[in-house]
Amino acid sequence: MILQEKPSFIESEHFRSASAVVLLLLCSIAAEITLGASSLNSSILFSLGRVILISSLIYLLHRFSLQALSQYRPTYKDLIAMVVVMVGMFVLIAVSRIISISVLNHFKALTLPGLSELVAEIDPRSLHFAIPFALGGILMQAVLGLQYGLVFGFVLSLVLGVYYPEEAGIVPYTIATTLVGCLSMVKFRSRGAYVRAGLNVALIGILFAFCFSLIQQDVSSLSTLVAVCAALLCGIVVSFLVAGLTPVIEYLGGYVTDMSLLEMATLDHALLKELSISAPGTWNHSMVMGMMAEAAADSIGANAVLTRVACYFHDIGKMKNPLYFSENQVRGENRHDKLSPSMSALIIRSHVKDGIKMAKQHRVPKPIIDMIPQHHGTSVIGYFYDKAKKEAEESGEGVEIDRELYSYPGPKPQTKEAGIIMLADGVEAAARTLPDPSLDKIQGMVQKMINRVFTAGQLDECQLTLQNLHAIAKCFTRVLNGIYHQRVSYPESVEKGSEKHKEEEIEEKKSPQKNGEKKVKARKSAKIDTNAPASQNGPSELEKNDEASQQQKEPKVEEKKKKKEDLKRLGL
């Protein structure tokens, strides 16, 4: 039995809760410093009350999201990233409001005839449509996921509602633009998603501008036109800022987005090229695994792109000793036959450590590196473990075999994606051993392998439910059945006949004279003796053919005559 290490204090639930409270308190203080700087009431008690209020609201929303949203499970690093981006949004909003007021005051101060009166008609709040309130939520969605972006947007709207109570529309506007922007970035597969998100934010801004004008019963005013232009500017700003800041957050926080994963999925990575040459069997195994795992992840709502790319890199450590793994061995040759079971297990286990080392050297994203050890978990290398026990029994020395020496170091899969990769790894390898891969056999094998992993407790830490496992099994069966589908078996007689026909055609092309002589001989043999009585010989084959052709011609001639008569009657 493998003893699992107890989580450290930093990884414990108590530390996470305490750190969340501290970070949220710091976020509230930052909001008071930035957004509350222009407040007329500078009382310490007033500021303290707002800080406590904001901290309480954010913490309650955080706890509610943990219970209500299945994919909202922020780590300590995720909370730091969210707080940093939130503080950045506070600064951006405060500076943008100051700039908008300064611009209006500047135009009002100009002495151009009629300009000051025209600018005086503009409502200062119409310029607030240019502030990219949705920026932070879209960034969180791109880096962490949809539910993180939505939580971020609701928190920001609550904070703005507390600090700007006189602007009632700022809360729904922030929520609406964040929702639209985040939904526009779901499963984005190209750079055009940034433009689409900005365009949708601009459209929502224009809609809100007209709605506020209707509420104020002043649709035809200059403020409405300014608000529309400001909303368009906001969409453009959001597109550029999201495209520019997402790679920065990726690099600083060690995150990976779908866009980066798609770039790695093109198979142009140096490690994948080397894998295809050094260990072609492993490369083929990884490609098939990628298809299976991607379909399964998509069916249960996991990150399909991350799952597929992680499959490509999960066994890169086998490049160091490729011939010690069955998929790369030549038939009839197995290098493990010359090694002891313990040495074989050591070589098999080492591909995990080697894979992590190679991935770090080539700067593979951390979420992919984490799945290299997790896809094996703490499972036992059963073949060599059983072989070692058998040799110990035969020797009669009563040596106890250490199970840990024949087990992978772990950890167990921590995410749904890692759990899917573990299942796909075992199922794909088992599918290659089926002598007759019919649909029933594939289905039974898939269910057997999934049950084996499940009963071993390897999926206890990855949040995969029984419903998820059923969906994964269906996807695996469908993909494997498409790969190992039954082919039509052609009869030997048909194949031989077709071969003879081809040989005759070749001979005819080579010797056309011989072919002509054969036809003449066939005609001569078809002739009958004319001196013999008709009753004896009967009608010849030629006569039969003439009679048949004559009978076929007669109805055609009659049809033509009838058509001519009909045309004459009609006067044609």
Q: What integer pLDDT is reported at residue 572 of this predicted model?
A: 46
Q: What is the pLDDT of residues 403-459, one digit of tens each?
A: 888 999 989 999 999 999 999 999 999 999 888 888 999 999 999 999 999 999 999
Q: Is residue 390 located within the same domain as residue 241?
A: no
Do residues 325 and 279 lie in contact, with contact meaning Cβ atoms separated by under 8 Å? yes
Q: What integer pLDDT is reported at residue 20 of this predicted model?
A: 76
Do residues 307 and 293 lie in contact, with contact meaning Cβ atoms separated by under 8 Å? yes
Q: What is the dihedral of CA 389, 393, 395, 400, to 10 degrees?
A: 60
CA–CA distance, 284 with 274 (Å, rounded to integer): 13
Tally the domains of the chain: 2
Cα of 450 vs its chain's centroid, Å:
22
Q: Is residue 251 located within the same domain as residue 283?
A: no
Candidates 326, 353, 132; CA nearest to 245 is: 132
Cβ-count burial of 6 within 10 angstroms (0-12 exposed, 13-18 middle, 19+ buried)?
exposed
The domain boundary residue, chosen from 255, 274, 292:
255
Q: Is residue 87 located within the same domain as residue 228?
A: yes
Residue 278 belongs to a domain: yes
Q: Is residue 269 located within the same domain as residue 160?
A: no
Residues 6 or more apart whose Cβ sits within 8 Å of residue 479? 291, 292, 295
Domain of residue 33, residue span = 13-255
Residue 273 belongs to a domain: yes
Residue 495 belongs to a domain: no
Do residues 167 and 128 lie in contact, with contact meaning Cβ atoms separated by under 8 Å? yes
CATH number of domain containing 421:
1.10.3210
Q: What integer pLDDT is reported at residue 222 of this predicted model?
A: 80
Residue 186 belongs to a domain: yes
Q: Is residue 166 located within the same domain as residue 290?
A: no
Q: Is residue 139 located within the same domain as residue 202?
A: yes
pTM > 0.75: no
CA–CA distance, 10 with 140 (Å, rounded to integer): 24
Residue 502 belongs to a domain: no
Q: Is residue 239 located within the same domain as residue 379?
A: no
Q: Is residue 79 located within the same domain as residue 191?
A: yes
The domain boundary residue, chosen from 222, 255, 288:
255
Do residues 93 and 160 lie in contact, with contact meaning Cβ atoms separated by under 8 Å? yes
Residue 549 belongs to a domain: no
**For a pLDDT cut of 90, what percent of the chain falls above it?**
42
User: % helix / strand / coil in the chain, to the nearest 5?
Assistant: 75, 0, 25
Mean pLDDT of 224-241: 91
The domain boundary residue, chosen from 483, 498, 533:
483
Residue 501 belongs to a domain: no
Q: Is residue 218 located within the same domain as residue 285?
A: no
Q: Is residue 306 located within the same domain as residue 219?
A: no
Q: Is residue 185 located within the same domain as residue 273?
A: no
Q: Is residue 318 located within the same domain as residue 394?
A: yes
Residue 369 belongs to a domain: yes
